Chain A
């Protein structure tokens, strides 16, 4: 992990940029492409801009996997739970 406080986006190489990316994504809340600090760098480095775009797309699409949950357990799962509930007690 690279420390962002030492980053200089005016002189950074594409390889260095990738080393900073995990921290950049975290710090920008997943919106690296809209952060004005990196606008010039990304404009000058379309390959990096494409990478950022793709990673943002993946992260954004991942949120859609949260809901609705499409998989459903079989009825046998509840049958087993309910039979165990008869002998189980909630803890205080």
Chain B
């Protein structure tokens, strides 16, 4: 293993499902030590969500350590179970937090309070902790006690309303998309807070709302609302400022290519590749950008008639060689065959005790001196209890066994 950017940071992770665990994994891939705390009575809910592997008889090989979604969001972590319903469990949690730099949690506000683990409680024994709460709605406001998740947050944030076709209802996005927005904010805030702590000795509390992160992804749209009173509508794949800009059918079943043209050279390049130089001549309705925007349906029909003759990979290679931004609408299978993603080491295959060889996703950037590494699969439920309690907390055998028998590690 090479040098890692975040070596020496310990993250105590009480969070579950998406945003919290992804944030912790972000740091884990870059060398921080992540202690993911669950309990036998309250598993990380992703363990109950597949996909699971399908068995030859068509049924699924389900099990608490066999969820693909849990696997994908929890690599490079140490996992332990702790029964927070017991006084000993809560005491152990405090001892763990005292050894941590960062504490992540994603419950609705009352859970940590009820355990005596609100920020105000924690700074009594760990004054410089950086604590971040990452629920959907944050710590205050009428919805703060409401359970939420990434399936509905895209709707609440306005992102989903704008996604899809103008003549249809808003589109189904296919993943709980906003779960993937918040972790970059959370990780940035934690890193900034760590820097501040290094310089001043002060920790802090971060009250994050996933919803607020999601709203930021609308970028200029909210200013258009507040200044101009405009509310944009769904536009499919179109862009109000340029054409062509779309997804076109290719040869084969459900094969598609995205083609976008942003300036005149790219337009000329597209016409050249399509062998439609007449579109650049006087008299063609497609010659100017305004002409193309006015006749976009017809233009798209023409492009579709051309693209459907070829497989998307061939089109992408030809269009890119000619100078047109174009890309295959990749399926998950395509992602695994994408030579660029192979080159970038997007997937990390690791041996997992119950799943066998399992693939793991990685993050978007590569650092020249401290590249990320995915080294361990997601922890089995309670896999590292002994390490966490005997080694990290230095419990003696007697104490460990007693707690074990009393169900503290349940």
Same assembly: no
Chain B contact residues, CB within 8 Å of chain A: none
